[in-house]
Structure 1
């Protein structure tokens, strides 16, 4: 009977307060996903290549997991205290019916165990799917065939670590629940639902002044960030302090002033204010903003961090990718730097002799020359390249051939394309002029056919063998695969940290906001019952509850989006030194993450609040 009562309570609690289960499940999913990275394909691939950043990635994620575990613990405790607060009358009835405080505590412990097992199981399943998605995302950063690393992989170590951490949090929840029940008085439990917040009134004129002051603070903070730049604003302590203080104060003032400011404006439109339940809906929503402006400020800042960090990390990875592509236009570039002494090496003949010509889709061999100002007429560059050779290289890359006047000093935007770079500036000269210059280097470039790793494994030994027996050739070989692997560790680290922190902040903001709305929905039950007695239709009650939840979720989200847009603009100003931040892909990824988590909490809260309103109206009509 005791177990049956606990299971019934769990089922009813999930139906009425699905946000609690959602928070537990998302917490388990988040913790498992990022603690299973050592078994994901990207890390396994880098470990096979003995990549030096693997240990750094795992160490940083382990340290960050401690921070995330603390955040999740606080979040779960907050959610459980909310659920316990809504059940005070029910617990008081148990005591009134003869159950001892110890029995009520054991009932709560059993309910917590059942809830924890369900959410742990669901979270691990969701985490396995999310882990595979994260693995596929990181593997997509590789410009090579890593299909063998794809697949659904379950990490027992990460599952055990998640279960231990989650179990410790639930033990803390059980202990605090037992203490709260044993120390509570029966009269306080029975009257728990009647203890609503006291909402002091504020003058409308003060609200307008606070709104203007809040906008001014935000504009000044935005101006500091955009005019001085992100690096300067963060390095110079007075600027950083002023920017953060003004930004936080502006956000707080906006939320504090909003109730009176909006109410004053809507009252001037009686047709809107007195239509349907708009008066009730607006006042209930504004009363919640009125009393929780501090938490609304924190939620907006958390959403700013979630969107900004996620968009920046994904966009920065795309930027690194584009910069790497610029440094590696071809799959392979071989520079014979001693061609001025030993002459060029026929690499194409060596590859044909090794029977590997099918491994190449394209190759081109050309010479670079010493610049002789007496011949070329230009002194600014140390090297020269014939026009036909330059055009052959750029046309293979899909760029237009040069058709301007000669000689021409190449800028860095139109430099001689070579993987790894030349390390010198060149000028373009006509082919007959190039014949009058001394040879400086041999430049051989190629693109692979088929699997790039296999092709490279075949070509490099042949090139090494062709140059090994020559007298003192200075050979430099630059591979696109090598350049990608050098940047892969930093790309994965940036991506993992961005997603981990962004998801954590987003989860915290959405859960706190949802629990606040559920608390208001429960407090409004008696008001909905009174409206039902007065004859208000159920559709109107459900619509009023839905509108309150929608407004509550849109307000901090809108301000967070404005903050994030300004922040990303400042980040882009820093990135423009080497290349533009790919804000489009970063913003789309951040938006997808936001919709998945924030939208899920919104829907769960909306359904729960509508159910509360309709249940209160039904009970009133039955009475």
Structure 2
């Protein structure tokens, strides 16, 4: 009987449960996606050079547990708010407290278990799709990456089951202690807090101090190491909460006092909507700002590592490809290169100790050797005149001109006449410089295989290739780029789910207020404008704070990334676009619930 009542309650409020359930599914899917990396020690060890990665992911797990706990607690309170009126009616009809408690337990745990199972399955799907797409895009081997990871399955299910069991017990306890009248009218009871001004002032000061401490800790990560991550984690989470708790209350009060602003359109109604449930908003917006920062930060860092891979490879070699006396197969592969911006041939001769370049050719087309250092790639032009001075600084970059037969010989230069007199076979070195190295990845990989087949794997001509450097650097950094993109996608999904879920979960309560305004003659256009302003504020504030978190958080990667602040337009622009899409979708769904197209006015 209890099971029938529980299932009947879910069916009767299917639309509200669908919002709740979809949010929980995404939450558990993100939890699984994160744990599939965080608990896979072999993957973390094989795909990053950063020794602290396991510890960083450990702190990330703690942060994710905190965020997910807040999310589940809120979901439980929403689940309780949907059914507490029904429970009160059962109690008025004589149902025993023990039976009501069992009913609450069955409903809550059933929703939690189903969400956990569905979320794990969705998480596996997202892990597989995101993982394989990213590996193909980054040319990342992603060693030991696993879509189905048993420890992640176990801990995700155990965590969600435990949280919902505890939530069910708390819900039952709170319900049985609450008077019947309070249960019947809970949906219309505002959460507005009468906070004293000095309390708001103290919270504002605490917010600034805590955020400053958190930002300082991130900038001093090289000195503080693990303690810096812990300090930043605690300080920024608390600082974000206090900032919203003080800023929103103060700002809403300030706007309400501005009679000119409040009297325009439905501004008073919009501000009242925001203040009606301000307690829930401050907590959820703090969580959203952290999720925003994690998602945007992960994607920004991932893009930073992806940009650094070809950049670092370019600083190892001035040419995208070099082949000495290519055979027909090797030359055929080289002809497939696209976007060739320069193709120069050099003639070489050798004796017992040296391999010689023709000074006249170098004066006409200087050798280009890349300089290693931070910032944009700089090149040194080596001519016949400065060859002796510069050659020693770029010894490794001469390897690409050395075939297996001449490996170990020293590069040198001869005048045109001396070069012509030297009795030695002439070899031709073909060099290519391309507009886009990564766009030619497949062609260069095929060319590299052809060079290995022609000269042998141990040839200096293979070691000196830019593709060889790229492959080595890609193996070291692509794992970090992969993790950045992967976690960014995961946190973006949870961010959207959290904020949309919070806003849409209150739509059923707001429906009566919007209906009342429609019945007294307020135009639907004005109501839609009010909805956009209200939801826009809820998206804007955590978004701004999240951006600030990211800008300070990038300080942690100054030692790892070449230029952490140099390429922000793409990740920020892309993320803001996706965030705007979520905003538009949320507004559309909310309007469909609260604004009636056809209403009876009698």
TM-score range, shorter chain: 0.5 to 0.7
Structure 1 pair 102–170 and aligned structure 2 pair: CA distance change class (3 A): farther
- 1:140 maps to which residue? 137
Which one of 256, 270, 275 corresponds to residue 246 of structure 2? 256
Which one of 458, 463, 479 corresponds to residue 477 of structure 1? 463
Query: Residues 272-307 of structure 1, C-alpha deviation per residue, up to 9 Å, x if partnerless?
Result: 421332112123324655785465445434422331
**Superposition deviation, residue 141 in structure 1:** 1.6
- 1:320 maps to which residue? 309
Query: For 1:581-600, what aligned pairs fall within 5 Å after superposition?
Result: 581-588=566-573, 590-591=575-576, 594=579, 599=582
Which one of 542, 545, 556 corresponds to residue 542 of structure 2? 556
Does structure 1 conserve the Cα–Cα contact (< 8 Å) formed by 2:357 and 2:414?
A: yes
Q: How many Å separate the matches in 2 of 1:494 and 1:281?
A: 44
**Superposition deviation, residue 415 in structure 1:** 9.9
Query: Residues 2-31 of structure 1, C-alpha deviation per residue, up to 9 Å, x if partnerless?
Result: 666544533454413544223222134335
Does structure 2 conserve the Cα–Cα contact (< 8 Å) formed by 1:327 and 1:421?
A: no
Is 1:607 matched with 2:556?
no
Q: How many Å separate the matches in 2 of 1:411 and 1:532?
A: 82
Does structure 2 conserve the Cα–Cα contact (< 8 Å) formed by 1:521 and 1:613?
A: no
- 2:340 maps to which residue? none
- 1:498 maps to which residue? 484
Moved more, 498-507 or 444-453: 444-453
- 1:372 maps to which residue? none
Normalising by structure 1, we get a TM-score of 0.65
Query: Residues 42-89 of structure 1, C-alpha deviation per residue, up to 9 Å, x if partnerless?
Result: x9xx9xxxx9549999x9599689655675455334312322134211
Q: How many Å separate the matches in 1 of 2:392 and 2:104?
A: 72
**Superposition deviation, residue 550 in structure 1:** 2.3
SS in 1 for 2:463: strand
Which one of 308, 311, 325 corresponds to residue 297 of structure 2? 308
SS in 1 for 2:464: strand
Does structure 2 conserve the Cα–Cα contact (< 8 Å) formed by 1:385 and 1:427?
A: no
Structure 1 pair 248–111 and aligned structure 2 pair: CA distance change class (3 A): closer
**Superposition deviation, residue 311 in structure 1:** 1.0
- 1:165 maps to which residue? 156
Q: How many Å separate the matches in 2 of 1:241 and 1:303?
A: 19
Normalising by structure 2, we get a TM-score of 0.67
Query: For 1:63-74, what aligned pairs fall within 5 Å after superposition?
Result: 67=62, 68=64, 71-72=67-68, 74=70
Q: How many Å separate the matches in 1 of 2:579 and 2:254?
A: 33
Is 1:199 matched with 2:193?
yes
Does structure 2 conserve the Cα–Cα contact (< 8 Å) formed by 1:296 and 1:556?
A: yes
**Superposition deviation, residue 560 in structure 1:** 2.1
Structure 1 pair 433–311 and aligned structure 2 pair: CA distance change class (3 A): farther
Q: How many Å separate the matches in 1 of 2:60 and 2:168?
A: 26
**Superposition deviation, residue 200 in structure 1:** 0.9
CA RMSD of aligned residues (A): 6.1
Structure 1 pair 501–466 and aligned structure 2 pair: CA distance change class (3 A): closer
Is 1:544 matched with 2:534?
no
Q: How many Å separate the matches in 1 of 2:592 and 2:32?
A: 33
- 2:84 maps to which residue? 88
Does structure 2 conserve the Cα–Cα contact (< 8 Å) formed by 1:216 and 1:250?
A: no
Does structure 1 conserve the Cα–Cα contact (< 8 Å) formed by 2:308 and 2:562?
A: no
Q: How many Å separate the matches in 2 of 1:428 and 1:293?
A: 72
- 1:30 maps to which residue? 30
Q: How many Å separate the matches in 1 of 2:212 and 2:126?
A: 44
Q: How many Å separate the matches in 2 of 1:421 and 1:193?
A: 78
Query: For 1:274-423, what aligned pairs fall within 5 Å after superposition?
Result: 274-286=263-275, 288-289=277-278, 293=282, 296-328=285-317, 330=319, 348=325, 351=327, 358-361=332-335, 366=348, 386=359, 388-389=361-362, 391=365, 394=368, 406-407=385-386
Which one of 121, 124, 128 corresponds to residue 121 of structure 2? 124
- 1:340 maps to which residue? none
Structure 1 pair 165–196 and aligned structure 2 pair: CA distance change class (3 A): same
SS in 1 for 2:265: coil
- 1:21 maps to which residue? 21
Q: How many residues align?
A: 558
Is 1:486 matched with 2:477?
no
Which one of 442, 446, 452 corresponds to residue 460 of structure 1? 452
Moved more, 236-245 or 308-317: 236-245
Structure 1 pair 56–238 and aligned structure 2 pair: CA distance change class (3 A): closer
Moved more, 322-331 or 310-319: 322-331
Q: How many Å separate the matches in 2 of 1:254 and 1:5?
A: 40
SS in 2 for 1:196: coil
Structure 1 pair 410–573 and aligned structure 2 pair: CA distance change class (3 A): farther
Query: Residues 392-417 of structure 1, C-alpha deviation per residue, up to 9 Å, x if partnerless?
Result: 7559xxx9996999547659999996
Does structure 1 conserve the Cα–Cα contact (< 8 Å) formed by 2:47 and 2:475?
A: yes
Does structure 2 conserve the Cα–Cα contact (< 8 Å) formed by 1:109 and 1:174?
A: no
**Superposition deviation, residue 548 in structure 1:** 2.0
**Superposition deviation, residue 428 in structure 1:** 9.2
**Superposition deviation, residue 387 in structure 1:** 5.7
**Superposition deviation, residue 558 in structure 1:** 2.2
Q: How many Å separate the matches in 2 of 1:386 and 1:250?
A: 65
Structure 1 pair 238–517 and aligned structure 2 pair: CA distance change class (3 A): closer
**Superposition deviation, residue 532 in structure 1:** 6.1
Structure 1 pair 518–114 and aligned structure 2 pair: CA distance change class (3 A): closer
Q: How many Å separate the matches in 1 of 2:481 and 2:186?
A: 46
Query: Residues 524-581 of structure 1, C-alpha deviation per residue, up to 9 Å, x if partnerless?
Result: 566557656755556655553443222112222123224434554x468657857974
**Superposition deviation, residue 500 in structure 1:** 4.8
- 2:172 maps to which residue? 181
